[in-house]
């Protein structure tokens, strides 16, 4: 670490005493050349009397000494500040190196964690999964490891449909993607800001110490949907997801796979809602694992193209790999963004797509269901009329696009 460097006293004397004296002398000599000035000074000095002369000489001497002392102190202070800056820069360098080390460790943890498949470690003790008969809520995860297939769209619109049907259900949406698309779609901007700033977001569900009363603070209303509630996500979730996973990697006793279950499977919470929908990210995060260990059902949305189909076996084997810790029933695959030739007839490409999907699903798991109802590709979904509003809050959109799937889902979960 840099230490304070003492200034060279000779240099300080030359710079701060000798130079000013030299400059002042030069000025005096120059002033002397002005006609009358020297005569006036001589006259003033001669007429000042002995006391006056002593005062002039002493004042000049004291002035110069004061000036020199002040200058030297200032110089020392500057040197101290420079040393302090050096010290801070050094500390910053050390912190940056530390941070780099942490990042490298994080990458190593992630790689080794995946290799070791930490999510399948033995369970040393898990909170109880409340039987369906003991609670009113049904927990459903919307999951597909492929991005952009409609998980968020379905979570939001199916949730709103179920909350606005003739026999409305009490719905809770939980946003588990740090990109917070579901949150932005469901909650007024001002309320989002307040909840985000006070940290009342879904990353708190991964906080082991979260009390039941604090859980209530996380729950916000869905814009214009009286029986709809949501727990929003924010960017902090990415870090919290990762830190929680890393902690489990380092301390296997600190099991982080059942944190949602320990909260949501308490009767006081599970009886407040009829349906809880988890909007999962297209990734294997701590939140995704937690959603699965608390869920009764999984819904897999897909588009009807080959790229989307590729993700289905991957998603199924991801869920099946976790069977030792999570046993949700895969309640079905829902086709999204379909195009009709003339209702109910699909365009040729999507007729073929649907046949191919059924084939593929059957090959992966003969018991797996493909929903009869589908969601049509529509500009009412892609371009919200209002920014912070789920499209299904509009009755026309709801009836035309999402209610058939919502009704089928409702029948299948027996609600």
Q: Which residues bind Mg ion (CB under 5 A)?
A: 151-152
Using CB under 6 A as the binding rule, whether residue 391 contacts ligand ATP is answered as no
- 147 contacts ligand ATP (rule: CB under 6 A): yes
CB 257 within 8 A of CB 289: yes
Contact 379/337 with Cβ under 8 angstroms? no
Choice between 71 and 339, CB closer to ligand ATP: 339
Extended strands (E) in 99-215: 138-142, 171-175
Q: Is 398 in the site for ligand ATP (CB under 6 A)?
A: no
Site for ligand ATP, residues 258 to 287, rule: CB under 6 A: 281-282
221 binds ligand ATP (CB under 6 A): no
Distance, CA of 289 to CA of 256 (rounded, Å): 9
Q: Which does 378 bind (CB under 5 to 8 A by kind): ligand ATP, Mg ion, none?
A: ligand ATP
Q: How far is the CB of 263 from ligand ATP (least distance, A)?
A: 23
Q: Which is nearer to ligand ATP, 151 or 261 (CB)?
A: 151
Q: CA–CA separation, 219 vs 99, rounded Å?
A: 35
Which of 110, 165, 377, 400 touches ligand ATP (CB under 6 A)?
377
- Residues that bind ligand ATP (rule: CB under 6 A) add up to a total of 18
User: Least distance from C-beta 159 to ligand ATP, angstroms?
Assistant: 13
109 vs 129: CA distance, rounded Å: 29
Work out whether strand 138-142 and strand 297-303 pair parallel, antiparallel, or are unpaired. Answer: parallel
* Shortest distance (Å) from residue 282 CB to ligand ATP: 4
Q: How far is the CB of 4 from ligand ATP (least distance, A)?
A: 55
Residue 181 binds ligand ATP (CB under 6 A): yes
C-alpha R_g of the chain: 37
- Residue-level length of the chain: 415
Minimum CB separation of residue 94 from ligand ATP in Å reads 39
Q: Which of 120, 109, 107 is nearest to 246 (CA)?
A: 109
Q: How many CA atoms does the CB half-sphere of 177 hold within 13 Å?
A: 26
Q: Residue 175 interacts with ligand ATP (CB under 6 A)?
A: no
Helix 19-32 and helix 37-47, axial crossing angle in degrees, nearest 10? 110
**Residue 392 near ligand ATP by CB under 6 A:** no
Q: Which does 61 bind (CB under 5 to 8 A by kind): Mg ion, ligand ATP, none?
A: none
Tally the C-alpha atoms within 13 A of residue 220's C-alpha that lie toward its C-beta: 29
Q: Which is nearer to ligand ATP, 177 or 403 (CB)?
A: 177
Rounded CA separation 135/166 (Å):
22
Residue of minimal CB distance from Mg ion?
A: 152
Please name which of 391, 176, 392 lies closest in space to residue 295, comparing C-alpha atoms: 176
Q: Which residues contact 383 (CB under 8 A, 6 or more apart)?
A: none
Examine residue 403 and tell whether it contacts ligand ATP (CB under 6 A).
Answer: no
Rounded distance between C-alpha atoms, residue 325 and residue 289, angstroms: 9
- φ/ψ of 201, rounded to 5, equals -130, 175
Q: Which of the 8 DSSP states describes residue 150?
A: S
Q: Which helix (H) or strand (E) holds 247?
A: helix 236-250
Using the rule CB under 6 A, give the single segment among 34-42, 151-159, 212-220, 261-269 that binds ligand ATP.
151-159
Residue 150 interacting entry, from Mg ion, ligand ATP, none, C-beta within 5 to 8 Å by type: ligand ATP
Q: Which does 274 bind (CB under 5 to 8 A by kind): Mg ion, ligand ATP, none?
A: none
148 binds ligand ATP (CB under 6 A): yes
The minimum distance between CB 186 and Mg ion, in angstroms, equals: 13
Q: Which of 118, 140, 149, 275 binds ligand ATP (CB under 6 A)?
A: 149
Nearest distance in Å: CB 148, ligand ATP: 4
Instruction: Note the residues at the interface with ligand ATP (CB under 6 A).
Output: 147-153, 177, 181, 281-282, 336-337, 375, 377-378, 381-382
């Amino acid at each position: 670490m840099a230490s304070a460097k003492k200034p060279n006293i000779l240099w300080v004397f030359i710079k701060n005493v000798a130079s000013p004296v030299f400059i002042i002398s030069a000025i005096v000599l120059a002033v002397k050349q002005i006609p009358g000035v020297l005569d006036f000074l001589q006259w003033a000095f001669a007429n000042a009397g002995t006391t006056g002369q002593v005062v002039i000489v002493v004042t000049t001497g004291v002035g110069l000494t004061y000036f020199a002392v002040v200058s030297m102190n200032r110089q020392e202070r500057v040197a101290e500040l420079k040393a302090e800056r050096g010290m801070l820069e050094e500390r910053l360098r050390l912190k940056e190196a530390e941070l780099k080390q942490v990042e490298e460790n994080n990458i190593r943890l992630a790689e080794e964690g995946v290799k070791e498949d930490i999510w399948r470690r033995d369970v040393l003790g898990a909170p109880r999964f409340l039987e369906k008969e003991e609670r009113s809520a049904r927990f459903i995860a919307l999951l597909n490891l492929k991005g952009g297939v409609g998980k968020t769209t379905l979570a939001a619109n199916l949730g709103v449909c179920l909350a606005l049907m003739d026999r409305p259900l009490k719905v809770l949406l939980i946003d588990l993607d740090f990109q917070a698309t579901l949150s932005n779609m469901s909650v007024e901007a001002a309320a989002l800001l307040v909840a985000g700033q006070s940290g009342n977001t879904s990353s708190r569900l991964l906080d082991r110490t979260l009390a039941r009363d604090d859980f209530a603070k996380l729950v916000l209303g869905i814009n214009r949907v009286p029986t709809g509630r949501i727990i929003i996500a924010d960017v902090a979730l990415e870090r919290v997801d990762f830190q929680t996973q890393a902690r489990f990697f380092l301390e296997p006793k600190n099991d982080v796979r059942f944190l949602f279950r320990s909260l949501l499977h308490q009767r006081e919470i599970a009886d407040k809602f009829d349906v809880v929908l988890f909007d999962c990210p297209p990734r294997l995060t701590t939140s995704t694992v937690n959603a699965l260990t608390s869920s009764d059902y999984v819904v897999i949305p897909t588009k009807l193209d080959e790229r989307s189909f590729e993700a289905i076996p991957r998603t199924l084997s991801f869920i099946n790999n976790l069977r030792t810790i999570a046993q949700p029933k895969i309640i079905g695959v829902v086709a999204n963004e379909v195009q009709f030739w003339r209702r109910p007839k699909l365009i040729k490409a999507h007729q073929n797509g649907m046949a191919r999907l059924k084939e593929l699903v059957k090959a992966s798991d003969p018991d797996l269901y493909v929903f009869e109802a589908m969601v049509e590709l529509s500009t009412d979904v892609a371009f919200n009329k209002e920014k912070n509003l789920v499209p299904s809050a509009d009755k026309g959109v709801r009836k035309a696009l999402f209610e058939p799937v919502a009704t089928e889902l409702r029948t299948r979960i027996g609600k």
